[in-house]
Amino acid sequence: MKIVIKESTLVCPSEQTPRRRLWLSAVDLLFTNRGYIPTLFFYKFNGSPNFFDPRVLKESLSRVLVPFYPVAGRLARDGNNRIEIDCNGQGVSYAEAVADSAMPDIDNFTATQELVKVIPPINRSLDDLYSSPLFAVQVTRFSCGGVSLGIASHHNLGDGTGFLHFFTSWSELARGLSVSISPFLDRTILRARIPPTPEFHHHEFDKPPVTVPSLTQNLKQSSGSKTNSSIIVDITSDHMKTLTTMVGNERSKIKYTRYEILTAFLWRVATEARNLPETQPTKIRIPVDGRSRLNPPLPPTYFGNVIFICATTALCGELLKEPLVHTVDRIHEAIMRMDDKYLRSALDFLDQTDDLTSIMHGPQNSACPNFNVVSWTSLPFHGVDFGWGQGYIRPACIYEGKGYILASSTNKGSLLFAMCLETEHIQAFREIFRASFQR
């Protein structure tokens, strides 16, 4: 696929915005090493002659940067060398491009080197970030008429809930409406208590288990470096009914969520596909939105990171031998533990940690033998309508061992699971997944 950039510019707020430094919470800072998060929105051509008019997009983007003015800032450091956002209104990066091929099949989309071309170039050097925009968008027009919005947003800015609010507000302005709800920007409400008093052992910040190689694995490692590949599988409503029945028949007193059941199942499939020793520990990390779990709850419009990580560890042998309901229960109990008391303790623990770089989020936390599942089904990104119809969001970069549960673009009620595994485990994952519903 050949991409030609037609325009590249900076878009600044349409009005004067507050010039100040924005303090970042420890939860924000944990995402520093993640850097920019590449994401893709796909929109099918609707026949409109002004489909994704650049003037409309740029003008509405300029206007949304007024209430969301930190997005137009730059990273900086305070007098203690702590990272913060300099709200200086220098703007975001905007590019227009054309592709010589049709838009990819959304439901069979996997991140590839070719599709990286529709994502704005990402500067991963922290040293250069202080002069780089924190948000970039590339509008790519495909030969079929469809459009993608390639997004690169720095994770220090906010989490998925915050950026859903940003994109919804941008699309409202593009449709000629006003921003319905302004963002809440004060992150100091996530400061630690005085004095900090952590009350729990925070297992989620322990170093992740590493693979204990078997003789066979040693031979494979010596033959060459490992490669990773992306995979996407359909999860139909019948699949979910089967899994729910398997869990409900054995223990019906607890009403487990769809996420808990599906994540437990996928963790087991990935563990079996990796063919790890029975004594190998495997850790699953589960992102939890703390907005409604804190007391008092944070405003739902809080723009920043409120993603706390809960985790649980099992031995591979135990995980694969126990009934599915027991694995679901492991995940359910880990999530239920994430109440106000635990989250406040986590904030205090982070405040007392001298070097946050040692526990920052990154690919090392999900790599084999570990696992990480993120669900985007509760975030209605598909409802982001710039005036030409709804689109579909897809992750553009997935680390090994990390997967995303997504809504299907064609089958209502069905889901997709996109993840990355070591290439040698891909076929086994497919076969184990398929066989699980044929027993």
Options 53, 234, 351, 385, the catalytic residue? 385
Query: How many CA atoms are closer than 13 Å to the CA of 204, on its beta-carbon side?
Result: 25
Helices and strands, number each (H, E), in the chain? 10, 15
Report the phi/psi class of residue 404: left, alpha or beta, with left for phi > 0 and alpha for psi in -120 to 50: beta
Q: How does DSSP classify residue 253?
A: S
Query: How many CA atoms are closer than 13 Å to the CA of 332, on its beta-carbon side?
Result: 16
Rounded to the nearest 5°, which phi and psi values hold at 44?
-75, 140
Place of tokens 């993603």: 307
Whole-number Cα distances in Å, 52 to 9, 13, 362? 17, 20, 34
DSSP 330-393: HHHHHHHT-SHHHHHHHHHHHHT-S-GGGG--SGGGTSTT-EEEEE-TTS-GGG-BSSS-B-EE
Q: Which residues contact 7 (CB under 8 A, 6 or more apart)?
A: 54, 94, 95, 96
Q: Are 45 and 132 in contact (CB under 8 A)?
A: no
Rounded to the nearest 5°, which phi and psi values hold at 113?
-60, -30
Place of tokens 């673009």: 409
Q: Are 416 and 235 in contact (CB under 8 A)?
A: yes
Spatial separation of the C-alpha atoms in residues 391 and 386, rounded to whole Å:
9
Spatial separation of the C-alpha atoms in residues 107 and 190, rounded to whole Å:
38
* Residue 320 in tokens: 């694969």
Bridge partner list, 97: 5, 140
Options 155, 165, 332, 425, the catalytic residue? 155
159 is a catalytic site residue: no
The identity of residue 427, as a single letter, is Q
Rounded to the nearest 5°, which phi and psi values hold at 404?
-125, 130
351 is a catalytic site residue: no
Q: Helices 324-336 and 258-274 sit at what angle, rounded to 10 degrees?
A: 120
Q: Are 99 and 2 in contact (CB under 8 A)?
A: yes
Catalytic residues: 155, 385
